[in-house]
């Protein structure tokens, strides 16, 4: 069976030799176009870094070129080859020869080798003996003696280091149970500390409804927390607003649109109403016993009265709280007549509360009239 991609002319027969010979073509194809000059085109890879002398650019190790390979001599029976290639960055030609004697490549023209030399000791590579040194070790007894002395000195220098490492290793693992016990003890102590810290973090997360892991506390966080101050103005405003709503009455009459528009036409009356309302609220917050924490049902001291049975039968206060206000309702149906003294005490307490509510309005009205008179 004939192979693929190979053409056999119709007039070719095996007696005429190979197909390439019959056609007059070299087996290597275009690579052998200069074979008559002893030149063969090969793929050459740079064995080291070079600097191109034509363009001055750096060409790295491993870059491949289509080079012209030519035999130019011999070192004993080993041929010496020349590789001539064109720089891919310019039109400069670079020529490199093989050096069988030193087992390396030589840059002959068109470029220069980048100097990258080092000692085998620097790269921790074992230095091999070359042929000349091995020959001297066999033939020259004095050289062999000198070399053996150098080896002995080198062994003496490295012996203390090896001995020290061996002694350290023996000391560390002389009693493995003790070392294991010490490590386990340290681990238990650290484990207890971690568990205590974890419990503290969980308490903080539960108290603040956090679902994120807490990072370890740092000194910088402590300093920032101590130097940070939050304003209480918003909390104070909210508390004041709450007290104002609590002290306000739920029985304010709603004026009609006509009356409200007529009322707002007079600036003086509007100012007087606002001023009287503010004074009334502040006074009520100051002296109203119903807004304090004392509970009448417990028989605490109220307005100078002593604790006793008379206080238990006083007016029962029903506090109804909502999102916007609190109201106090006096339920007279729960008052049970006991005797005249008790009824008199109740009436005195009731009228005292009425006077305390009306006095701020009268006081504000008096000062407002004086202010209007002074302006006139």
pLDDT along the chain (376 residues), means of 10: 67 82 80 90 94 93 94 94 94 95 93 79 63 80 82 76 83 86 93 93 89 86 83 74 68 48 52 67 57 42 41 38 39 43 66 66 57 53
pLDDT of residue 268: 58
Q: 3-class SS at 207?
A: helix
CA distance 273 to 364: 10
Model pLDDT, residue 161: 78
pLDDT score of 188: 95
pTM (global) more than 0.75: no
- pLDDT for the residue 39: 93
Q: Kindly report the number of other CB atoms within 10 A of residue 197's CB atom.
A: 13
Which of these, 68, 74, 56, lies nearest to 32 by C-alpha position? 68
Task: For the chain, state the CA radius of gyration.
Answer: 56
């Amino acid at each position: 069976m004939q192979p693929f991609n190979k053409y056999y002319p119709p007039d070719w027969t095996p007696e005429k030799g190979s197909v390439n010979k019959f056609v007059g073509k070299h087996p290597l194809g275009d690579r052998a176009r200069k074979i008559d000059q002893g030149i063969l085109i090969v793929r050459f890879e740079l064995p080291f870094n070079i600097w191109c002398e034509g363009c001055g650019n750096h060409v790295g190790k491993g870059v491949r070129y289509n080079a012209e390979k030519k035999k130019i001599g011999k070192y004993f029976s080993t041929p010496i080859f020349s590789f001539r290639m064109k720089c891919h960055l310019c039109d400069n030609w670079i020529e490199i020869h093989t050096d069988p004697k030193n087992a390396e490549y030589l840059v002959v023209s068109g470029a220069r080798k980048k100097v990258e030399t080092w000692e085998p000791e620097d790269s921790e590579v074992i230095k091999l003996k070359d042929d000349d040194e091995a020959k001297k070790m066999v033939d020259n007894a004095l050289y062999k003696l000198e070399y053996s002395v150098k080896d002995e000195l080198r062994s003496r220098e490295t012996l203390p280091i090896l001995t020290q490492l061996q002694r350290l290793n023996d000391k560390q693992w002389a009693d493995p149970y003790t070392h294991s016990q010490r490590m386990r003890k340290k681990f238990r102590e650290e484990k207890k500390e971690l568990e205590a810290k974890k419990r503290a973090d969980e308490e903080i997360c539960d108290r603040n409804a956090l679902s994120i892991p807490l990072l370890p506390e740092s000194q910088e966080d402590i300093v920032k927390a101590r130097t940070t101050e939050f304003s209480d103005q918003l909390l104070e405003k909210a508390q004041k607003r709450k007290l104002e709503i609590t002290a306000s009455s739920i029985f304010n009459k709603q004026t009609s649109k006509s009356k409200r528009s007529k009322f707002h036409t007079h600036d003086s009356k509007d100012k007087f109403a606002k001023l009287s309302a503010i004074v009334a609220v502040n006074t009520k917050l100051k002296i109203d016993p119903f807004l304090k924490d004392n509970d009448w049902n417990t028989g605490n001291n109220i307005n100078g009265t002593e604790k006793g049975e008379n206080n238990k039968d006083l007016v029962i206060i029903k506090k109804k709280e909502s999102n916007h206000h609190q109201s106090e309702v006096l339920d007279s149906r729960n008052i049970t007549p006991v005797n005249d003294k008790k009824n008199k005490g109740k009436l005195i307490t009731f009228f005292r509360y009425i006077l305390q509510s009306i006095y701020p309005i009268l006081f504000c009205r008096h000062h407002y009239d004086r202010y209007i008179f002074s302006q006139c």
